[in-house]
Amino acid sequence: MTDDKTKRAHSDAPDKIEIEIEHAGDGPLPTDPDPVLKDEDFSGETEAEDAPVSAETASPNQRIAELEDKLLRAAADFDNYKKRTARQFEEMANAATDRLMGEFLEIIDNFERAREHAGESVSLDSLLKGNELIHGQMVALLAKHNLEPIEALGKPFDPNLHEALFQVETDQHAEGIVAQELARGYRQGNRVLRHSRVAVSKGKINADTSKKP
């Protein structure tokens, strides 16, 4: 009799255990009172902070700072460009001047040779001929560099080419005509290097006004 009860007790036990387990599975899951936050929980926030600021999302102060930086860089680049260009033009001008002065030195050498021979027993014709040769060399040098004299005498006065120093009365030229050329002017192409210094005619001499009272 006792053995039968014991067998029934053992046979009923598994059913009770399964019921209790199933009942426990239907209840709410236990929660951790102090959960530990992991690094991946903050990954979104970190990426947002490290992401570069675009032009659309930048604040006005950030945009102003960027524009000021670009403006300063552009101003510095332009200043360097001006200095570099000025230095290049200066070097080109110096090179051109050096070539021209070198050619003038040859003419000065000829003048010095003429002065050395002036003390010797040479004829006046020889001195004049040497002077003409040196003058021709100078004129040829000016023509080589596209420099030519400005025609003034007997020409209508032109303030773009001539510089009037005074006026004269003359029967040889009408009023407004260059009567005298005091210093010859020169130009290079259309650019005037030196204006001709001239005296301009006032017209024919008036016999009545020329007499003293």
The pLDDT, as a whole number, for residue 18 is 46
Distance of CA 16 to the CA centre of its chain: 99
For the segment 124-142, the average pLDDT, to the nearest whole number, is 86
Of the candidate ranges 41-50, 176-185, 195-204, the one whose mean pLDDT is the lowest:
41-50
Pairing of β 191-194 and β 162-168? unpaired
pLDDT, tens digit, for every residue of 13-51? 444 444 444 444 445 545 555 555 454 444 444 444 455
Question: How far apart, in whole angstroms, are the C-alpha atoms of residue 147 and residue 138?
Answer: 11
Residue found under tokens 């051109």: 96
Across residues 166-178, what is the average pLDDT?
A: 92
Residue 119 confidence (pLDDT): 67
Cα 21 to Cα 184: distance, rounded to the nearest angstrom:
127
The total of other beta-carbon atoms located within 10 Å of residue 72's CB is: 10
| Cα–Cα–Cα angle for 11, 16, 17, rounded to 5 degrees | 100
Task: Specify the pLDDT at position 17.
Answer: 43
Alpha helices in the chain, H assignment, sequence order: 2-26, 43-50, 60-118, 124-144, 207-210
Q: What is the mean pLDDT of residues 138-165?
A: 93
Percent of the residues in the chain that have a pLDDT greater than 90, as a whole number:
38
- Tell me which residue has tokens 């510095």: 76
Q: Tell me which of 48-62, 81-95, 106-120, 199-213 is least confident.
A: 48-62
Q: Of the candidates 178, 179, 196, which has an alpha carbon nearest to the alpha carbon of residue 187?
A: 196
The model's pTM? 0.53
**What does the pLDDT read at residue 25?**
46
pLDDT-derived band at 194 (thresholds 50, 70, 90) equals very high
pLDDT band at 168 (very low <50, low <70, confident <90, very high): very high
pLDDT band at 159 (very low <50, low <70, confident <90, very high): very high
**pLDDT reported for residue 59:** 85
Please give the radius of gyration of the chain, using alpha carbons only, rounded to the nearest integer. Answer: 54
Determine the average pLDDT of the residues in 88-92: 93
Question: Which architecture does CATH list for 149-213?
Answer: Roll (2.30)
Helix (H/G/I), strand (E/B), else coil: 121? coil
Strand, coil or helix: 103: helix
Coil, helix or strand at residue 29: coil
How is residue 181 annotated by DSSP? E
Residue-level pLDDT at 153? 93
State CA 92 to chain mean position distance.
16
CB contact set of 170 (below 8 Å; sequence gap of 6+) = 179, 201, 202, 203, 204, 205
Average pLDDT, the chain: 77
pLDDT at 208: 54
